Amino acid sequence: MSHHDTDFQGDIVAAIVSAIRSKIANSQAEVSGGGGHYTIAVTSPAFAGLGRVDAQRLVYSAIAHLMAGDAPPVHAVDSLRTIVP
Amino acid sequence: MSNLADGSNPTHEHISQVLRENRVVLFMKGNRHFPQCGFSAQVVNILDEFLPTYKTVNVLSDPALRDGIKAYSNWPTIPQLYVDGKFVGGCDIVRDMHGSGELAALLSEGASSGGSPVTPEAPKVHLSPAAVGAFKQALGEGASEHPRLHIPANFEHELFIDEKQPDDLEVQADGLVLLLDPASARRANGVRIDYVTGTGQGGFKIDNPNSPPRVQPLSVKGLKGMLDRGDTFELVDVRTPEERATARIAAARHLDDEGFEYLQGLPKDTPIVFHCHHGMRSRAAAERFLSTGFTRVFNLEGGIDAWSNEIDPTVPRY
């Protein structure tokens, strides 16, 4: 995948993990990637009873501020898994 | 979906209308034949396995739509697949549903408009005796591998020797087996494969009636003939105003804002010939017009330089 520049200063993986953990109850996040492309796996009881689309929406809304704008730190989520513990 | 559609927003209304009128809709970057992002290309490739036709909407053609579709579905990424007016998911979810068989079930449910899914079956592919002979020679005796025809969404055909995969479809021709993956098979009906020998080395020639229109090369002699005959077509100069001041072909219209507006208003089957200095910039412009739906698009090979050199020496070279 192509590399995408961003003005974001700091550790993007850490920023994704911390955004998810602060906004989704009792969640654990595994994040890898770079160059704007990330693979994310989130485990949380909050996903119980949600369909795949709604569960992923929860994650996307938690990191929305990292995906907004013209040169966002997160350009694309290559793979997103939501897991109920 | 009452949480989605806001009746007072024209972009949302437009999206709702597209979804009402088409059972399967993919909002993507580019179109079915020219996906302009890897994720969009993956979803196209999956849908092509199941559906002969479906609606695609290119979000790159309209910034309001690009943002509007994200708000409409409360989903931050493109592509987005909708079936029966409902948001199904992005690339990740479509890929999962394809793997689990859910997508095949969803697409075959109550199929009416928008193309009915068909279990992939072997396409009709014609191999000439010369092609069969050339394959057999390449394979040698008792080979466990077979020729494979791969046809990606942009119809850049590939032929190579490969092992059989579990979901492959097979075309039999005179003791030869041709392999196609399901998506390629969808695009292969009516293909003719021949082997031609010219000067020096021979080569396979693939003729696919399903291929989308391409930019056709046009020689300066060909253009001269079209002008002399009084053919109906548009000749378009994509160079800068400065270059046009230096040298120009009299009949050519400049591709400035006004020229662009004019061309966009023409019927999509209008023949359009693009030219520049040597033929590179005009090829890029021709590709862009092709991707907006024009079907008879030509590139003047060698550009105005070839025109000065071979047709009209009164046009200055620079």
Here the tokens at position B130 are 């010369």
- Exposed, middle or buried by CB within 10 Å (0-12, 13-18, 19+), for A55? buried
For residue A3, pLDDT beyond 80? no
Contact call for A79 and B92, based on CB within 8 A: yes
- Residue B102 to chain A, least CA–CA distance (Å): 12
From the list A1, A60, A78, which residue is nearest B76 (CB)?
Answer: A60
Here the tokens at position B52 are 């002969």
Q: What per-residue confidence (pLDDT) applies to B101?
A: 87
Q: What per-residue confidence (pLDDT) applies to A20?
A: 95
Q: What per-residue confidence (pLDDT) applies to B118?
A: 55
Contact call for B76 and A80, based on CB within 8 A: no
Position with higher pLDDT, B299 vs A3: B299
Could you tell me the strand order of the sheet in which A37-43 lies?
A28-34, A37-43, A76-83
Q: How far is CA B217 from CA B68, B161, B302, in A?
A: 39, 31, 10
Answer for the pair B317, B247: CB distance below 8 angstroms, yes or no: yes
What is this model's ipTM?
0.81
- In angstroms, the CA B258 to CA B61 distance is 19
Please work out, in degrees rounded to the nearest 5, the angle formed at the alpha carbon of residue A11 by the alpha carbons of A8 and A17.
110
| Interfacial B residues in 28-67 facing A (CB < 8 Å) | 38-39
Q: What per-residue confidence (pLDDT) applies to B243?
A: 95
Contact call for A57 and B75, based on CB within 8 A: yes
CB contact A65 to B (< 8 Å): no
Here the tokens at position A29 are 């996040």
CB contact A83 to B (< 8 Å): no
Contact list in B for residue A77 (CB cut-off 8 A) is 77, 92
- In angstroms, the CA B207 to CA B223 distance is 26
Instruction: Render B92-148 in DSSP notation, one character per residue.
Output: HHHHHHHHHTHHHHHHHTT--SS----------EEE-HHHHHHHHHHH-TT-S-EEE
* Collapsed DSSP state (helix, strand, coil) of residue A66: helix
- Residue B186 makes CB contacts below 8 A (sequence gap 6+) with B48, B49, B52, B120, B123
Note the Cα B257 to chain centre separation in Å. 26
For residue A70, pLDDT beyond 80? no
- In angstroms, the CA B242 to CA B157 distance is 40
Q: Is B91 a catalytic residue?
A: no
Q: What per-residue confidence (pLDDT) applies to B112?
A: 45
Here the tokens at position B187 are 């695009």
Answer for the pair A51, A84: CB distance below 8 angstroms, yes or no: no
Here the tokens at position B273 are 């010939």
CB contact A48 to B (< 8 Å): no
CB contact A56 to B (< 8 Å): yes
- Exposed, middle or buried by CB within 10 Å (0-12, 13-18, 19+), for B44? buried
Contact list in A for residue B76 (CB cut-off 8 A) is 60, 64, 67
In 3D, which of B254, B262, B216 has the Cα closest to residue B235?
Answer: B254
Type of residue found at B52: P
Provide the b/e sequence for B235-254 (b: ≥16 CB within 10 Å). bbbbbeeeeeeebbbeebeb
List B153, B185, B223, B276, catalytic entry: B276
Instruction: Render B261-313 in DSSP notation, one character per residue.
Output: HHHHTS-TT--EEEE-SSSSHHHHHHHHHHHTT-S-EEEETTHHHHHHHHT-T
- Residue A51 to chain B, least CA–CA distance (Å): 11
CB contact A53 to B (< 8 Å): yes
Q: What per-residue confidence (pLDDT) applies to B288?
A: 87
- Residue B134 makes CB contacts below 8 A (sequence gap 6+) with B195, B202, B204
* Contacts across the A-B interface (CB distance below 8 Å): 28
Mean pLDDT by 10 residues, chain B (318 residues): 57 93 94 86 90 90 90 92 94 91 83 51 90 89 87 88 91 91 89 84 86 90 94 95 94 93 92 96 91 89 96 94
Q: What per-residue confidence (pLDDT) applies to B234?
A: 96
Q: Which chain B residue has the Cα nearest residue A70? A: B67
From the list B38, B74, B92, which residue is nearest A1 (CB)?
Answer: B38
What is the radius of gyration, based on Cα positions, of chain A?
12
- In angstroms, the CA B281 to CA B304 distance is 12
In 3D, which of A16, A6, A22, A18 has the Cα closest to residue A39?
Answer: A16
Q: How many residues does chain A have?
A: 85
Q: What per-residue confidence (pLDDT) applies to B61?
A: 85
- Residue B11 to chain A, least CA–CA distance (Å): 20
CB contact A35 to B (< 8 Å): no
B151 Rama sector, left if φ>0, alpha if ψ -120 to 50, beta otherwise: beta
Contact list in A for residue B38 (CB cut-off 8 A) is 1
Contact list in B for residue A75 (CB cut-off 8 A) is none
Q: What per-residue confidence (pLDDT) applies to B293?
A: 81
Provide the b/e sequence for B272-294 (b: ≥16 CB within 10 Å). bbbbbbebebbbebbeebbbeeb
